[in-house]
A = this chain, B = another copy of it.
Amino acid sequence: MSTVAERAAEAKEASKRMAWASASLKNEALLAMAGLLGDKKAEILAANEIDLEILQKKEGYSRAYYDRLKLTEARIEDMMEGLRQLAALPDPVGEVTGMWVRPNGLQVGQVRVPMGVVGIIYEARPNVTVDAAGLALKAGNAVVLRGSSEAINSNKALVAVLRQAVESVGLPGSAVTLIEDTERAAVVEMMRLNKYLDVLIPRGGASLIQSVVENASVPVIETGVGNCHTFVDESADLKMAGEIAFNAKTHRPGVCNAMETLLVHSAVADKFLPGMLESFIAAGVEVRGCARVQALDSRVKAAEEDDWYEEYLDLILAVKVVDSLEEAVAHIGKYGSGHSEAIVTSLYGNAREFQARVDAAAVYVNASTRFTDGFEFGLGAEMGISTQKLHVRGPMGLVALTSTKFVINGDGQIR
């Protein structure tokens, strides 16, 4: 057996114990993890320093990448706080989601159970190591982590701490398993370990996610691209529309729930857009518009066909004037990525139609798309935002890391 398969097999074995760990024992483990991270801050920062030094010797590393890789006392404290918040959340495992009696007297119920072994493939940020392990454990799973090779020393140090904490409460350390093999082949092997992994969640850029979706035989939860739209209809409160659009674009442009395209109904374009464009441009936003938008402001560049597909993740915005709700819905259907879409309207019928017709993980009326987030939705914690339709769609809370089983209670029934 290869090293990767061996590690995954250990995690599978650990998952059997995790599956029936009580909520209080799992919470003890989470608090122990937080406590030990605090005690071992110096060792963790020293290991991270090694990663940072190696990175700096590489040609062409970017400042942004360095920042993502870097740990600080404050970042470790954030991880600790995240674990403590997880401990305070209700345990999803054991919830009976339904139970009924059949005509023959059989009692049939459905119970939430852990997924088993959750595999995570991720990039630079070492905090994912702790966040993902905490979420997986809280939901009764074991986790197999494969971070980037650049973060290997940080991840080894973090996982050593997490395992020690898990073992300190009597649970198996292999419930947190790190794949230390930094070769690309190790990731490829991990993607095909159906025998040991129940689900694989890639967290990172589009190319990582694409590679996992294409190559994995283990079931994947795709966390994805957000090409999000806001549609200002003919009845919109234009002050509200301006605030929502400005927030959706500029509050944090680098994240997946930021707006990338603004659609404006032609009936209000002349009244709404000049001031709106002024605000965006004043805030440093580059605006790329259709001809009708360009006609309103000479600073607007021409949007190419590709712009409508683009997830800029930056202070760039595509703007288009449309003549109907129908056209807005069709535009979103064609170019959108099914993440978060919003309408600003004062018409009941338009609100209902937009929410019914737009096919996306989150469809808003009169609010900023920036709310698509596990904490903001009240799910308590988040493992990413799913843009697939299977299993979970939108922000993934703890329930996304569980499965169900049927329990059937009889008194001798046969067919």
Residues of chain A whose beta carbon lies under 8 Å from any beta carbon of chain B:
16, 19-20, 100, 102, 106, 108, 113, 115-116, 192, 194, 198-199, 213-215, 217, 219-222, 237, 240, 243-244, 246-248, 251, 333, 351, 355-357, 359-368, 370-372, 376-378, 388-391, 393-395, 403-415
Q: Looking at the complex, which one of B19, B406, B414 makes contact with A377 (CB distance below 8 Å)?
A: B406
Contacts of A409 in B (CB 8 A): 351, 364-367
From known contacts A113-B359, A403-B390, A405-B361, infer whether A102 and B213 are also in contact, taking CB-CB under 8 Å.
no
Residue of B nearest to A20 (CB): B356
| Shortest Cβ distance from residue A270 to the other chain B in the assembled complex, whole angstroms | 23
From known contacts A102-B378, A115-B389, A219-B388, infer whether A406 and B367 are also in contact, taking CB-CB under 8 Å.
no
| Shortest Cβ distance from residue A344 to the other chain B in the assembled complex, whole angstroms | 9
Q: A115-B389, A370-B414 are in contact. List 18 more A-B contacts (CB 8 A).
A: A16-B333, A16-B359, A20-B356, A102-B377, A106-B371, A199-B389, A199-B390, A219-B219, A219-B390, A244-B412, A248-B414, A251-B414, A364-B410, A365-B410, A367-B413, A368-B414, A371-B415, A372-B406
Interface CB pairs A-B, < 8 A, 11: A16-B359, A106-B367, A115-B389, A199-B390, A214-B217, A364-B410, A366-B410, A367-B410, A368-B413, A370-B415, A394-B406
CB <8 Å contact, A360 and B405 = yes
CB <8 Å contact, B414 and A404 = no
Contacts of A371 in B (CB 8 A): 106, 408, 413, 415
CB <8 Å contact, A414 and B359 = no
CB <8 Å contact, B247 and A408 = no
Q: Which 5 A-B pairs have the closest CB atoms?
A: A367-B410, A247-B414, A389-B403, A391-B391, A219-B390
CB <8 Å contact, B198 and A116 = no
